[in-house]
Chain A
Amino acid sequence: MAHFDKKAKPFSHQWLNDRLAVDTVKKVLSTEYWIPKNINFLWAMGMILAATFGLLLVSGIFLLMYYKPDTKLAFDSVNYTIMTEVGYGWLWRHIHGVAASVVFLIIYIHMFTGIYYGSYKKGREMIWLSGMLLFVVFSAEAFSGYMLPWGQMSYWAGMVITNLFSLGSLDIQAIVEWIRGDYVPGDAFLTRFFMLHVLLLPLVILALIVFHFATLRIPHVNNQDGEEIDFEESAKLYKEGNKKESKVIPFNPVFLSKDIFVMGIYFVLFFYLVFYHFEFAMDPVNFDPADGLKTPVHIYPEWYFLWSYEILRPFSKDIGLIAFGFAQVAFFLLPFLDKSPVVAPANRRGLFKFWFWIMLVDMIVLTIMGKLPPEGAWNIIGLVAALTFIVLFAVLPFITKFEKKA
């Protein structure tokens, strides 16, 4: 048996330390978890995401108390009961809707920060891969949540997305009917997506967030110059009191206080949206109850899925499906397609500079085209943007290899 200080009072510091090693845990996870000084506000996006997920969890718990996962009751339980009868029900719904939309904006900023500064390679591959897994599961979480109000967009988005699983010309209706538990989205479909949205996927997300944090602990976060910092030496300097000479600060309380400042600004904007501009996250078409015999004039996903939807759209059925499948996994491949060992901001990386900015603009163009009806010039621009996306990934190994020689 280990040594316990028998004189320690229950729950005193010594008593807890003997049993839980609280001092060590605190050091490893907070006061001696070193963060480079050379960073900017973009390094706060991770904690902003964690906080936004927290808001989604809390608002979701309140919504869960009045929501009814039944095709006959769901629409009214949201639009009548929660919105008009439940005290402050509107608040939870608007927080949930706005947070679900904004969380993707922050995810994209977080992702493109990582791409810009090269934070996905040279020991940081697992950070990138676990982050991409989080993105995929967040997407599934957003999609399953979108089914729940059982409006027209819920129903038809559910129809279109589940039809993708018939795998194009293979036309395997059995898979689609298995996923739905019916010939068309119905009660079985709604209740199983309800289960996914409120239990299974949040559990997976929580586990992945813990894993994502864990992948960060040993390689540490990157910095604005991609500099390889000797964390032990810098930590020593800091602990000796040479804080000015040291290149690092402790996660808690120093880095966290900066994080919380950025979070403060973010939450001012966030709650401005919740109280005054929530309608951007509420598609008017979804305020019509689901009707399996009437397709809305345009079916489009929420803004954060538009870029990958637009990669599906301009092609014929099978090629579109393959392109769409590629778009979903392409970013996972980034650490392996980038053959350059250089970790530096994109602007200092030769051709990769152009790759980064073209990719960013292309994603924005795809997003805009995805929202516009599939007609005339939009079709051509959409096709070019979709092809650009694929070509960019195909050329990445070559331009980064070239960079190595330069």
Chain B
Amino acid sequence: MSSRRDFMGMALGGFAALGGIAALYAAKRTWDPLPSVSAAGFTTIDLSAAKENELAVEKWRGKPIFILKKSSSMPKSDRDIEVGGNRYLVAIGLCTHLGCVPAYLPSDYMFKCACHGGEFDAAGINTFGPPPSPLVIPPFKINGNSIVLGEEGPEYKKMKDAGLTA
């Protein structure tokens, strides 16, 4: 008798658990970003308008993108992107600590985050405070005088393989 009852109990429990897991999966998928949101946003940015040592902020996938054209007196970095003979910093403008937007201080060639005091140099490398890593370089492809964000060009792949993008 008891084994029969156990069987009924386990069968009921098993099917209930199955339904529960299925429902959890559906709930998880409902919270996923919508296809229209996650479909790669490709943003083309024309770099020829950039001015030396002046930060331009563009938008890609809802995130601010820092574009900084470097003057010849600014230190070189292997994180620089060369387009049309000029050097640029192109990075996601969110502090790698908790995602605030750092401000650029042109006279010091550095970024400072107001939230928790983190600092980055003009190459986007963390130099002080809680940020654990440099500003992230987004996937890009050079196309004449402009870059396409969201697409991985050969220059990006080379930087990524060298571990320079994050």
- Specify which of B37, B61, B100, B131 is in contact with A299 (CB 8 Å cutoff): B100
Kindly specify which of A20-28, A179-187, A260-268 makes contact with the partner chain: A179-187
Question: A316 is contacted by which of B33, B61, B62, B130 (Cβ under 8 Å)?
Answer: B130
* A170 CB to nearest chain B CB (Å): 11
A392 to chain B: which residues have CB within 8 Å? none
Report A-chain residues with C-beta under 8 Å of the C-beta of B113: 295
B162 within 8 A of A: no
> Are A181 and B32 in contact (CB-based, < 8 A)?
yes
A179-B32 Cα distance, complex, nearest whole Å: 8
Shortest distance between the CB of A344 and any CB in chain B (Å): 42
- Does B84 touch A at the CB level, under 8 Å? no
Number of A residues, CB within 8 Å of B: 35
Cβ of B106: which chain A residues have Cβ within 8 Å of it? none
Contact call B32/A298, Cβ cutoff below 8 A: no
Interface hits, B34-62 → A, CB 8 Å? 34, 37, 57, 59, 61-62
Closest to A292 in B: B62
**Known contacts A183-B62, A292-B63: does B97 contact A317 (CB below 8 Å)?**
yes
A295 to B98, CA, bound (A): 12
Residues of A within 8 A of B115 (CB): 160, 295, 298-299, 374
Answer yes or no: B99 CB below 8 A from chain A CBs. yes
Chain B residues near A180 (CB-CB < 8 A): 33
Tell me the count of chain B residues lying within 8 A, CB to CB, of chain A: 27
Residue of A181, A293, A299 near B57 (CB, 8 A) is: A293
Q: Are B31 and A181 in contact (CB under 8 A)?
A: yes
The answer to whether B62 and A297 touch across the interface, beta carbons within 8 angstroms, is: no
A contact residues around B93 at 8 Å (CB): 293
Chain A 175-204 against B: per-residue CB contact (8 Å), 1 yes, 0 no? Answer: 001111111101010001000000000000
Q: A188, B98: Cβ atoms under 8 Å?
A: no
Which residues 99-116 of B sit at the A interface, judged by CB distance below 8 A? 99-102, 113-116
Cβ contact within 8 Å between A160 and B98: yes
With a CB–CB cut-off of 8 A, which chain A residues contact B153? none
Task: Give the shortest distance, in Å, between B95 (CB) and chain A (any CB).
Answer: 8
A297 proximity list for chain B (CB < 8 A): 114
Are B99's CB and A293's CB within 8 A?
Answer: no
In the bound assembly, the distance between CA atoms of A152 and B69 in angstroms comes to 29
Q: How far is the CA of A293 from the CA of B113 in the complex (A)?
A: 13
Q: Which residues of A contact B37 (CB under 8 A)?
A: 181-183, 186, 188
Q: Is A251's CB within 8 Å of the partner chain B?
A: no
Contact of A53 with B by CB under 8 A: no
> Total contacts A to B, CB within 8 angstroms?
80
Q: Could you give, for residues 331-359 of chain A, a 1 whenever the CB lies within 8 Å of some chain B CB and a 0 otherwise?
A: 00000000000000000000000000000
* Chain A residues, CB < 8 A from B99: 159-160, 163
CB of A96 within 8 Å of the partner chain: no
Q: Which of B32, B57, B63, B130 contacts A183 (CB 8 A)?
A: B63
**Cβ of A42 under 8 Å from chain B:** no
* B145 CB to nearest chain A CB (Å): 24
Nearest Cβ in chain B — how far from A150, in angstroms?
Answer: 14
Select from chain A the residue with minimum beta-carbon distance to B41. A183
Q: How far does the Cβ of A156 sit from chain B's closest Cβ, in whole Å?
A: 7
0/1 string, A290-305, CB within 8 A of B gives 1: 0011111111000000
A163-B98, A299-B100, A299-B115 known; A293+B132 contact, CB < 8 A = no
Whether A160 and B100, one on each chain, are in contact in the complex, defined by CB atoms closer than 8 angstroms, is: yes
Residues of A within 8 A of B64 (CB): 292-293
Whether B32 lies near A313 (C-beta < 8 A) is no
* A307 CA / B132 CA spacing, docked (Å): 23
Residue pairs across A and B with Cβ atoms less than 8 A apart, 22 shown, are: A159-B98, A160-B98, A160-B99, A169-B132, A178-B33, A186-B37, A188-B33, A188-B37, A192-B31, A292-B62, A293-B57, A293-B93, A294-B101, A295-B100, A295-B113, A298-B115, A299-B100, A299-B114, A313-B116, A317-B131, A374-B117, A379-B117
B interface list, Cβ under 8 A from A:
28, 31-34, 37, 57, 59, 61-64, 93, 97-102, 113-117, 130-132
